[in-house]
Amino acid sequence: MAKITLNSLAKMKQSGQKITCLTAYDSTFANLVSTQGIDVILVGDSLGMVCQGQDSTVPVTMDDMCYHTRSVHKNINDAMLMADLPFASYTTDEQALQNATRLMQSGAEIIKLEGEAWLAPVVTRLRQHGIPTCVHMGLTPQSVNVFGGYKVQGRDSDRADAMIKAAIELEAAGVAVLLLECVPVALAREITAAVSIPVIGIGAGPDTDGQILVVYDMLDLTPGRKPRFTKNFMSESGSAQEAVSSYVAAVRDGLFPAREHCFE
- Degrees to nearest 5, angle at CA 262 with 258 and 147: 155
CB 158 within 8 A of CB 164: no
Q: Residue 260 catalytic? A: no
The strand pairing partners of 199, in sequence order, are 178
| Residue among 116, 171, 181, 190 flagged as catalytic | 181
The closest of 149, 145, 229, 251 to 183, measured between CA atoms, is 229
Q: Give one DSSP letter per residue of the chain, joined into a string.
A: -PPP-HHHHHHHHHHTPPEEEEE--SHHHHHHHHTTT-SEEEE-TTHHHHTS--SSSTT--HHHHHHHHHHHHTT-TTSEEEEE--TTS-SSHHHHHHHHHHHHHTT-SEEEEE-SGGGHHHHHHHHHTT--EEEEEES-GGGHHHHTSS-----SHHHHHHHHHHHHHHHHHT--EEEEES--HHHHHHHHHH-SS-EEEESS-TTSSEEEE-HHHHTT-S-SPPPTT---TTTT-SSHHHHHHHHHHHHHTT-SS-GGG---
Question: Residue 197 in contact with residue 178, Cβ under 8 Å?
Answer: yes
Catalytic residues: 181
